[in-house]
C-alpha cells in the first residue's frame, strides 16, 4: 500500500510540537533534520510509529526523522505546514560537545550537494570504462567535454561549499561566493603556476592551489561571518549595504591567502595523512574496522565526520581508499535484510525487508538498518560481521574509488579505472562476500519472527479472553467523554478555518474552533490527562480515557513572548478533572503587544470532523463543538 506522505507530514508536525516548536527543517538523502526549540516535549515512540517513518535519531542538536527514499516528498509537505527560520542554528544555545558541533557543520555544508558530487564521480567512472573498452577517443571533443564536465564540481568545490557554508554561518551568500571564486580565479591560478614570489602589503603570500580544497574555504566563511557582522553593526545605515560587502571581501580574500588558506591546507593534509598512514599500516585491518563499524556510525549520525577526508583524498591522491572499504558495509546490511526476507514467514516483515534490501543494494541503507536489521538485532550483528569480512577482502586487494560516490550497485563505474583491474575485481569480490555472507549468517543465526508468535497467540485466545475484551470495550464506551466538548475559555466561538493562523485555518493540525476570549482563564474541557505542555505556557495537549486528543493553543505567534504573560497551572502527565484551571494568561498584555489572543481548540486527529457551535460560550458550561 502506498504511503500518504502528506498525512505523514501532518502527523510529524503535530507530534513535534507544531509550527511553534519547529525552528527549521532540512533533509539529506534519507532523513528529515529538524531543529526544535524544545525536544523534551516530543514523544519519540509516537513519532516512530507514524506511517512512513522508519525511526528517529537525536544527534548534533538535531531531531532526525529517518524516512528513506521518499524523504523529498515528506520534506515538501512538511515545509508547506511550517514557517522555516533560516537563521535557526541547531547548536545555538544547546549544550552539545565539540564533536557534535563539528559533525553538525559538516553535514549542513556537504549534504545539499553530495548527489551532485556523486554524479560527477559516476561520470568519471563511466568514461573510464569506455576508455578501457576503446569505445571513445580520448583525443576527441566528445571525451574532452565530458571529461571536464566530470571534474567541474571538484574543481569549483570551494564555490559549492561557500554557498552552503554561508547559510550555516549566516553570511551573505554572494559575499561568500565571491570569496570562494577569488581562490579559484584564473589570475590567481596563473600566479600559482608561475611560481614567482607574491607579496601583499609586504607580507609574502604562500601560493597554494585551492581548487578541490575543503577546509580553507570553510574557515574563511566562518571568519567572514564575524567580519560581516562587525561592519553591519558599526557602519552607518546609509553606507552599510555597499561598504559591508566591500570591506568583508577586501579583508577576507587576503586573510585567506595569508593565513586561513595555509592553515586549512595543513589541517586537511594532517587529517587525511593520519587516516592514510593508518590504512597503509595494514589495509586488511583497516577494512575490518571500516566494513564492520561504518553502519554503526550511521546509526549515531556521526558518519559525516569522514566526508572531508574522502573529498581531500580525491583532490590530493586522485582516489579514495575509505570508500572502497565502506562499500562492504553497505552491501552487508542489504544482504542481512535480504536474509530476513528469505527466512521470515511474516508477510508484513517480508515486504518491508524486500524493499529495504533493494534500496540498500542501491546504496541507501537506513531502511535496512532501522526498518529491519536493528529492530531485529541479530541481523544487524550479522551484517556488521559480514561487512568486516568483506572489508578485509577489499583491503587485501587495496580496493579504491576513483571518483566521489555513495557506494551502491549504480555507482560501480566509479571504482573502475583502466590499468587497475585487480583493485576493481577486489572491490567486486568484497561486496559479493559481504552481501552473501550477510544473507547466509542471518538465515543461520535467525531472529524472533513475529509470524510464529502471532499464530501461537491467536490459537491461545480463549472465550474468557474474548469476554474480557468485550468487557473492556464496554467499559471504554461507558467511560467515554461525550462527543460534545465544552469550551475551555469564555468567549465567542468561530470555526477554526476563520482564524488568522494559516497552520490552524488550513485544518492541517486538526478540526475545531477558534475562541475569541473574554478573559485569560483556560480550563480543562473534560476529565483526562495532560499529554503535553509548552514551556512558554501558550499550548496544552490533553487526551481522554479513550485516547481522543485535543490541543489548546493560546494566541497567534505568542511563542515569541517566551512565556511572558502566561502562567501554567499543570504539568505534563497530570490528571485533571473537567473545570480544572490549566493556564492563566494576560489577555491585555497580548493585545497591547500586537498579538491576536484567539484560542484555538482543536481535535488533534485530522480524520475527525466536528459540528461547530458558534457564538458566545461560557467556559466549561457551554458546548464549543461536537465530534461527529
Q: Are 288 and 431 members of one domain?
A: yes
Residue 151 falls within a domain, yes or no? no
Helices (H), 377-510: 378-396, 421-445, 450-460, 463-479, 502-505
φ/ψ bin of 222: left (φ > 0), alpha (ψ from -120 to 50), beta (otherwise):
alpha
**Same domain, yes or no, for 230 and 287?**
no
| Residue 424 pLDDT > 90 | yes
CA distance 55 to 366: 9
What is the DSSP-derived secondary structure letter of residue 29? S
Provide the CA 554 distance to its chain's centre, in angstroms: 30
Residues 319 and 249 in one domain: no
pLDDT value at 450 more than 70:
no
Domain count, the chain: 4
Q: Residue 218 corresponds to which cell in the numbers above? A: 570553510
Are residues 570 and 489 part of one domain? yes
Is 274 part of a structural domain of the chain?
A: yes
* Plot region of 3 (φ>0 → left; ψ -120 to 50 → alpha; else → beta): beta
Instruction: Kindly state whether residues 263 and 309 are assigned to the same domain.
Output: no
Whether residues 273 and 290 share a domain: the answer is no
Residue 28 falls in the annotated catalytic set: yes
| Residue 465 counted as domain residue | no
Is 609 a member of any domain? Answer: yes
Q: Tell me the per-residue pLDDT of 41-93, one tens digit each, with 9 for 90 and over.
A: 888 888 888 888 877 877 666 788 888 767 888 888 998 888 765 555 544 54
Residue 451 pLDDT exceeds 80:
no
pLDDT class for 471, splitting at 50, 70, 90? very low
pLDDT given for residue 69 in this prediction: 66
pLDDT for the residue numbered 99: 64
Please indicate, yes or no, if residue 478 is contained in any of the structural domains.
no
Mean pLDDT of 458-463: 44
Q: State yes or no: pLDDT of 601 exceeds 80.
A: yes
216 and 261: one domain?
A: yes
At 488, is the secondary structure helix, strand, or coil?
coil
The candidate with the shortest Cα–Cα distance to 147, out of 184, 113, 120, is 120
**Rounded CA gap, 517 and 619, in Å?**
10
Mean pLDDT of 410-438: 92
Least confident of 116-120, 171-175, 500-504: 500-504
Q: Taken in order 82, 87, 88, 90, is the CA torsion positive or negative?
A: positive
User: In this structure, how many other beta carbons lie within 10 angstroms of the beta carbon of residue 254?
Assistant: 15
Q: What residues contact residue 119 under an 8 Å CB cut-off, 6+ apart?
A: 153
Q: Output the pLDDT for position 29.
A: 65
- Shared domain for 340 and 403, answered yes or no, is yes
502 half-sphere exposure, CB direction, 13 A CA radius: 6
Residue 467 resides in a domain: no
What is the reported pLDDT for 549? 84
Q: Which residue among the candidates 28, 120, 382, 384 is catalytic per the annotation?
A: 28
| pLDDT tier for residue 34 given thresholds of 50, 70 and 90 | confident
Helix (H, G, I), strand (E, B) or coil at 539: strand
- Of 278, 308, 342, the position where a domain reaches its end is 278
Residue 458 predicted with pLDDT over 50: no
Cell of residue 208, nine digits:
597554494
Is the model's pLDDT at 101 over the cut of 80? no
- Over residues 282-305, the mean pLDDT reads 83
CATH number for the domain spanning 574: value is 2.70.70.10
pLDDT (mean) for 469-476:
43
Residues 6+ positions from 72 with CB-CB distance below 8 Å: 27
Query: Hey, what's the cell of 80?
Result: 508547506
Last residue of a domain, one of 278, 309, 338: 278
Q: Tell me, what's the pLDDT at 531?
A: 83
Do 253 and 334 lie in one domain? The reply is no
Q: Are residues 53 and 84 in the same domain?
A: yes
Q: What pLDDT does residue 65 have? A: 87
Are residues 271 and 303 located together in one domain of the fold? Answer: no
pLDDT higher than 60, residue 267: yes
Structural domain range at position 498: 484-627
Under the banding of pLDDT at 50, 70 and 90, the label for residue 467 is very low
Residues 109-119 have a mean pLDDT of 80
- The whole-chain average pLDDT of the chain stands at 84
Band the pLDDT of 606: cuts 50, 70, 90: low
* Domain stop point among 278, 312, 330: 278
Structural domain contains residue 123: no
Q: Are residues 293 and 263 in the same domain?
A: no
Q: Would 330 be classed as within a structural domain? A: yes
Query: Which CATH number covers residue 70?
Result: 3.30.1360.60
> What is the per-residue pLDDT across 345-397, written as a single tens digit (0 to 9) for each?
888 788 888 888 888 888 878 778 877 888 888 999 999 999 999 999 999 99
Q: What pLDDT band is residue 476 in, cutting at 50, 70 and 90?
A: very low
Amino acid at each position: 500500500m502506498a504511503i500518504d506522505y502528506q498525512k505523514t507530514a501532518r502527523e510529524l508536525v503535530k507530534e513535534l510540537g507544531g509550527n511553534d516548536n519547529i525552528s527549521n527543517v532540512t533533509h539529506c538523502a534519507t532523513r528529515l533534520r529538524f531543529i526544535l526549540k524544545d525536544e523534551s516535549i516530543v514523544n519519540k515512540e509516537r513519532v516512530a510509529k507514524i506511517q512512513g517513518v522508519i525511526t528517529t535519531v537525536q544527534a548534533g542538536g538535531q531531531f532526525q526523522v529517518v524516512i528513506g527514499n521518499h524523504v523529498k516528498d515528506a520534506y515538501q509537505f512538511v515545509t508547506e505546514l511550517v514557517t522555516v527560520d533560516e537563521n535557526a542554528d541547531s547548536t545555538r544555545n544547546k549544550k552539545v560537545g565539540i564533536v557534535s558541533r563539528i559533525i553538525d557543520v559538516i553535514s549542513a555544508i556537504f549534504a545539499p550537494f553530495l548527489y551532485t558530487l556523486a554524479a560527477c564521480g559516476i561520470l568519471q567512472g563511466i568514461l573510464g570504462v569506455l576508455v578501457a573498452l576503446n569505445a571513445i577517443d580520448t583525443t576527441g571533443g566528445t571525451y574532452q567535454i565530458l571529461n571536464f564536465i566530470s571534474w567541474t564540481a571538484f574543481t569549483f568545490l570551494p564555490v559549492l561549499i561557500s554557498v552552503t557554508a554561508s547559510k550555516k554561518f549566516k553570511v551573505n551568500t554572494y559575499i561568500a561566493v565571491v570569496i570562494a571564486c577569488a581562490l579559484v580565479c584564473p589570475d590567481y591560478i596563473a600566479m600559482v603556476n608561475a611560481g614567482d614570489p607574491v607579496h601583499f602589503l609586504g607580507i609574502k603570500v604562500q601560493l597554494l592551489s585551492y581548487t578541490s580544497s575543503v577546509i580553507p574555504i570553510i574557515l574563511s566563511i566562518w571568519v567572514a561571518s564575524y567580519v560581516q557582522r562587525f561592519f553591519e553593526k558599526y557602519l552607518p545605515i546609509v553606507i552599510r549595504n555597499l561598504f559591508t560587502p566591500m570591506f568583508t571581501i577586501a579583508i577576507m580574500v587576503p586573510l585567506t591567502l595569508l593565513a586561513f588558506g595555509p592553515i586549512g591546507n595543513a589541517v586537511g593534509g594532517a587529517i587525511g595523512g593520519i587516516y592514510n598512514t593508518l590504512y597503509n599500516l595494514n589495509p586488511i585491518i583497516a577494512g575490518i574496522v571500516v566494513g564492520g563499524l561504518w553502519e554503526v556510525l550511521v546509526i549515531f549520525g556521526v558518519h559525516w565526520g569522514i566526508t572531508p577526508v574522502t573529498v581531500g583524498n580525491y583532490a590530493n591522491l586522485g582516489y579514495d581508499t575509505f570508500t572502497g572499504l565502506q562499500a562492504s558495509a553497505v552491501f552487508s546490511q542489504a544482504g542481512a535484510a535480504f536474509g530476513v526476507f528469505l527466512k521470515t514467514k511474516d508477510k508484513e516483515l517480508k515486504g518491508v525487508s524486500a524493499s529495504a534490501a533493494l534500496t540498500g543494494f542501491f546504496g541507501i541503507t537506513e531502511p535496512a538498518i532501522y526498518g529491519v536489521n536493528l529492530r531485529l538485532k541479530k541481523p544487524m550483528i550479522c551484517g556488521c560481521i559480514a561487512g568486516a569480512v568483506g572489508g578485509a577482502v577489499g583491503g587485501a586487494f587495496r580496493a579504491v574509488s576513483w571518483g566521489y560516490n555513495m557506494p551502491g550497485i549504480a555507482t560501480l563505474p566509479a571504482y573502475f579505472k583502466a590499468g587497475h583491474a585487480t583493485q576493481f575485481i577486489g572491490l567486486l569480490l568484497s561486496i559479493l562476500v559481504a552481501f552473501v555472507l550477510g544473507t547466509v549468517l542471518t538465515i543461520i543465526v535467525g531472529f524472533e519472527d513475529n509470524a510464529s508468535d502471532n499464530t501461537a497467540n491467536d490459537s491461545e485466545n480463549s472465550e474468557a479472553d474474548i469476554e474480557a475484551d468485550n468487557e473492556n470495550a464496554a467499559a471504554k464506551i461507558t467511560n467515554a467523554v461525550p462527543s460534545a466538548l465544552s469550551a475551555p475559555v469564555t468567549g465567542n466561538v468561530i470555526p477554526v478555518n476563520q482564524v488568522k493562523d494559516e497552520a490552524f485555518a488550513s485544518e492541517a493540525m486538526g478540526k475545531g474552533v477558534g475562541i475569541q476570549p473574554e478573559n485569560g482563564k483556560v480550563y480543562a474541557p473534560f476529565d483526562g490527562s495532560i499529554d503535553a505542555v509548552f514551556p512558554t505556557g501558550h499550548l496544552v495537549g490533553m487526551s481522554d480515557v479513550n485516547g481522543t486528543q485535543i490541543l489548546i493553543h493560546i494566541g497567534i505567534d505568542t511563542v515569541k513572548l517566551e512565556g511572558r504573560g502566561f502562567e501554567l497551572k499543570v504539568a505534563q502527565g497530570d490528571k485533571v478533572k473537567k473545570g480544572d484551571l490549566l493556564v492563566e494568561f494576560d489577555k491585555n498584555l497580548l493585545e497591547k503587544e500586537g498579538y491576536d489572543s484567539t484560542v484555538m481548540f482543536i481535535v488533534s486527529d485530522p480524520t475527525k470532523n466536528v459540528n461547530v457551535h458558534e457564538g458566545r460560550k461560557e467556559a466549561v458550561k457551554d458546548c464549543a463543538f461536537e465530534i461527529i
